[in-house]
Amino acid sequence: MDNYIHKLGFKDIAIKVNEQNMHDNPQCVYKNWSTPLATAQVLRSFLLNKLFDDSYKDYLLKIMKETTTGADKIKGLLPNDIVVGHKTGSAARNESGLKAGDNDLGFVYLPIGRFYVIAVFVKDSKEDDQTNAQIIAQISKLVYDYEKE
């Protein structure tokens, strides 16, 4: 996966381990990394370009729009009638209560006929999950209020 994403031209991303590796050894989460900007660029490219077969794209769009996890993150403070597709990411907490990542990536369709992509990453947080979600929701609302004009 790492080679594929780099061949597409995205450099600020590393995908070195899979979900099982991360569950087996929680420190492995740090082997996979990205900047929020690079992650948003990948999603934007996915939305605007043909990266793979349309049936896969349609399926992923459907899943992102219908996802129920993380409803309190990017979608949390947005109007209910706005179309949002997103995918959350969340690491387990270590023995000291540190959460390596609590993230959300998504797209938001605006009533004015355009969309934007947003990625919010909360890294190495000792805040509780609700506080992390509120941070993401507040940032998302600020972007929405700016973009809707």
- Banded model confidence at residue 78, pLDDT cuts 50, 70, 90: very high
Q: What is the pTM of this model?
A: 0.91
Asked if 52 and 75 count as a contact pair (C-beta separation under 8 A), the reply is no
- Banded model confidence at residue 36, pLDDT cuts 50, 70, 90: very high
- Rounded distance between C-alpha atoms, residue 44 and residue 72, angstroms: 22
Asked if 75 and 53 count as a contact pair (C-beta separation under 8 A), the reply is no
Handedness of CA 83, 40, 125, 88 (dihedral sign): positive
Looking up tokens 């899943």 gives 63
pLDDT tens digits, 1-32: 788 889 889 989 999 998 899 889 888 889 99
- Banded model confidence at residue 82, pLDDT cuts 50, 70, 90: very high
Instruction: Identify the pLDDT of residue 118.
Output: 98
Q: How far is CA 94 from the centre of its chain?
A: 21
Domains of the chain from N-terminus onward? 2-147 (3.40.710.10)
Least Cα distance to 5 among 31, 41, 48, 59 occurs for: 41
- Rounded distance between C-alpha atoms, residue 93 and residue 97, angstroms: 5
pLDDT tens digits, 94-135: 999 999 999 999 999 999 899 999 999 999 999 999 999 999
Looking up tokens 């947080």 gives 125
